[in-house]
Amino acid sequence: MKRKIEFSLVYRDMWQSSGKYVPRVDQLVKVAPHIVDMGCFARVETNGGGFEQINLLFGENPNRSVREWTQPFNDAGIKTHMLERALNGIRMNPVPADVRKLFFKVKKKQGTDIARSFCGLNDVRNILDSVKYAKEGGMIAQATLSLTYSKVHTADYYISLAKTLIDGGADEICMKDMAGIGRPAWLGKIVKGIKDQYPEIPIQYHAHSGPGFAMASILEVARAGVDIIDVAMEPLSWGTGHADLLAVHEMLKDDGFEVPEINMAAYMKVRSLTQEFIDDFLGYYINPRNRYMNSLLIGPGLPGGMMGSLMADLENNLTSINKWLAKRNKPELSQDELLIKLFDEVQHIWPKLGYPPLVTPFSQYVKNLALMNVMQLEKGRERWSMIADNIWDMLIGKAGKLPGELAPEIVQLAGKAGKEFYTGHPQDLFPDNLDTFKQEMKDKGWDFGKDDEELFELAMHPEQYRQYKSGDAKKAFEEDLAKRKAEGSGIIAKPSTQNDTVEVPVNVNPSNMQVTVDGEVFNVSVSYGNGSTAKNESTAPAQENVQVQASGNGVNGTSHDVLAPLEGKFYLTKESSETPLKVGDIIKEGDLIGYVEAMKTFNAIKADSAGEVVEIVCSSGNDVEEDDVLVRVK
């Protein structure tokens, strides 16, 4: 009798492995019936991970999106599954336990059947909390092995991990080969080792195709006993994504497995709609390089799911590095040169950091730290000179236990930074906090939503939800998309004009300049009158009331500017419990000024001199470039 293999379409991850965004709710609802009609999927990955943050960035309600998107699959008897990050829920940083518990209850009521829970460090304490909360919420608890390949990540390590998770209550096991670097024979040993002990436990295999092992790995794990295979489909299969449904189907069918037949008319409709969504706007956020496979990824082991954001980060950081190099008449770097430097640095630092599996958020942390090192080294500075708070939390145990040992130089760095190592349960560091968000909802008159789903959204994604509610998120997205479309079509966006007069919004001022007076350098803030606009006319300069306020640069002058050490978004706080800096505060050297969020991590900005805060130059939430003035201290 032929053994049956089922398929799951990872429609969410298909998009996020290719670029930044996933389709809007109207597009998802449009394609869903045709995915059902394909007739070959037992499961569809509908949400989780960055899905809801992306909805918020669109200015869309993510709860409406999840409900409407899952409904057709619920009606057809196709199970829906989502990806969640254990201690981090569906964001990049830890979540209080009461918010995590509410999360599973909300998602089940919205139509999600299976919670695929993973911890980026494979810390069973974090995963088993999710298993417990998922089952209490009525969901199927699928515990995940985050697969990576190193001297500490042996087949026996993963078999033992699966045993602990199953004995702890997991209903299913997912083998998450997020970078696609699992060697086929090694993966087969892991599956066989689990199935020998727990033949009744379903195992689902998820692999990215980037490095080139995926097809061999799928065949090997199928022969070893895997029950369900995650697949993608054209035009978003292969590359940094996943193996294609048609190829996997034929390979397994030829090898003697029972696989469901595919309605090719429906397949072509889904394929056509997916391309339509790409052409509409999503393609503006897909780097063409992500459509190619690249065996260079075997070395650094970076996951396919983050390659979309990685290439976007590289563009921004390449610009930043090259600006710095150009100012000093040094040769600029190409993107390929920066990419290879990054890959080499990841391979260099990964063992020193205790071999964290390269999966969200820790793949981003390792990549970000490697990229920071590359940028600092390019500028003649030292490696490790900028380590974000999130990364420190990973290194000292606040996120969970690292699989390997930290290098002595990292331990020494921790001591110098005053960091204390933590060995307790990570969740204990993040106490219940739902009441704070309930009060905020009441104070602002916001509706808690069906099944408290709006309350949950605020508690899970505070900053993004507030920007969604204010309309700022939608406005920023539409402006960015318009800019990309204009650039993509070769049209240079220009301000509207009338009679050769340009309206310049007053919020472009004041601007900052450096002025040298008698050999002393001053930072100068320039503002242009009190009117709502300044006219770009030949007579305008004579009419402007230009006010100049000079302040020293912290060396020869009377005040000191705290500068942004990197490009990103500036925030005065990152948690609701923090008190933001304000004008008039007296600070000491080393005190926290705020954060620059770059590449999904918050980099703490510390004062390098004592004094009184006389001006907060950059507003919280604003974009900053390297060396922009954040705060002025006197």
The residue among 410, 429, 448 that closes a domain is 429
pLDDT score of 534 more than 90: no
Q: Supply the mean pLDDT for the chain.
A: 86
Question: Are 316 and 257 found together in one domain?
Answer: no
- Alpha-carbon distance of 513 to 525, in angstroms, equals 7
- 450-454 long-range contacts (CB < 8 A, ≥24 apart) are 450/63, 450/109, 451/105, 451/106, 451/109, 451/110, 452/102, 452/106, 453/63, 453/106, 453/109, 453/110, 454/63
Question: Are 546 and 570 found together in one domain?
Answer: no
Confidence of residue 552 (pLDDT cuts 50, 70, 90): very low
425: Cβ–Cβ under 8 A, 6 or more apart, which residues?
A: 125
Question: Are 532 and 392 found together in one domain?
Answer: no
pLDDT score of 463 more than 60: yes
- Alpha-carbon distance of 109 to 90, in angstroms, equals 17
pLDDT score of 525 more than 50: no
- Phi, psi of 546, rounded to the nearest 5 degrees: -95, 120
Question: Are 534 and 606 found together in one domain?
Answer: no
Rg (CA), the chain: 26
**What angle separates helix 97-110 from helix 453-460, to the nearest 10 degrees?**
130
Question: Are 567 and 535 found together in one domain?
Answer: no
DSSP H or E segment with residue 563: strand 560-563
- Alpha-carbon distance of 181 to 189, in angstroms, equals 15
Structure token pair of residue 20: 């930044």
Confidence of residue 237 (pLDDT cuts 50, 70, 90): very high
In one letter, which amino acid is 31?
V
DSSP H or E segment with residue 484: helix 472-488
Report the domain count for the chain. 4
Residue 260, judged by CB atoms within 10 A of its CB (0-12, 13-18, 19+), counts as middle
Predicted confidence (pLDDT) per residue in 31-66, tens digit: 999 999 999 999 999 999 889 999 999 999 999 999
Question: Are 97 and 32 found together in one domain?
Answer: yes
Query: Does a structural domain hold residue 480?
Result: no
Query: Does a structural domain hold residue 477?
Result: no
In one letter, which amino acid is 407?
A
Report the length, in residues, of the chain. Answer: 634
Worst-scoring range by mean pLDDT, 45-59, 128-142, 341-355, 483-497?
Answer: 483-497
Predicted confidence (pLDDT) per residue in 492-512, tens digit: 233 333 333 333 333 334 344
Question: Are 200 and 312 found together in one domain?
Answer: no
- Position 34 scores a pLDDT of 98
Query: Does a structural domain hold residue 479?
Result: no
For tokens 């689902």, the residue is: 204
The residue among 253, 284, 315 that closes a domain is 284
- Alpha-carbon distance of 345 to 610, in angstroms, equals 35
- Position 558 scores a pLDDT of 66
Confidence of residue 307 (pLDDT cuts 50, 70, 90): low
Task: Mark residue 55 as left, alpha or beta (left: phi above 0; alpha: psi -120 to 50; beta: remaining).
Answer: alpha
Mean pLDDT for 553-573 is 72
Query: Does a structural domain hold residue 1?
Result: no
Question: Are 279 and 308 found together in one domain?
Answer: no
Query: Does a structural domain hold residue 401?
Result: yes
DSSP 546: E
Candidates 348, 436, 338, 353; CA nearest to 390 is 353
- Position 306 scores a pLDDT of 62
Residues 69-79: b if buried by 16+ CB within 10 A, e if exposed: bbebbbeeebb
Q: What residues form DSSP beta bridges with 551?
A: 523
- Position 343 scores a pLDDT of 85
- Position 308 scores a pLDDT of 57
- Position 544 scores a pLDDT of 32
Query: Does a structural domain hold residue 457?
Result: no
Question: Are 317 and 401 found together in one domain?
Answer: yes
Predicted confidence (pLDDT) per residue in 537-548, tens digit: 333 333 333 333
* CATH number for the domain harbouring residue 25: 3.20.20.70
Question: Are 246 and 175 found together in one domain?
Answer: yes
DSSP H or E segment with residue 230: strand 228-231
Mean pLDDT for 316-324 is 78
pLDDT score of 75 more than 50: yes
Query: Does a structural domain hold residue 484?
Result: no
* CATH number for the domain harbouring residue 603: 2.40.50.100
Provide the domain limits for residue 563: 559-634
Mean pLDDT for 147-170 is 96
Question: Are 126 and 20 found together in one domain?
Answer: yes
Question: Are 546 and 569 found together in one domain?
Answer: no
Q: Where are the beta strands (DSSP E) in 430-500?
A: 497-498
Query: Does a structural domain hold residue 491?
Result: no
The residue among 372, 395, 429 that closes a domain is 429
What is the reported pTM? Answer: 0.78
Helices (H), 198-293: 214-224, 245-254, 264-280
Predicted confidence (pLDDT) per residue in 116-135, tens digit: 999 999 999 999 999 999 99
- Position 500 scores a pLDDT of 37
- Phi, psi of 449, rounded to the nearest 5 degrees: 85, 165
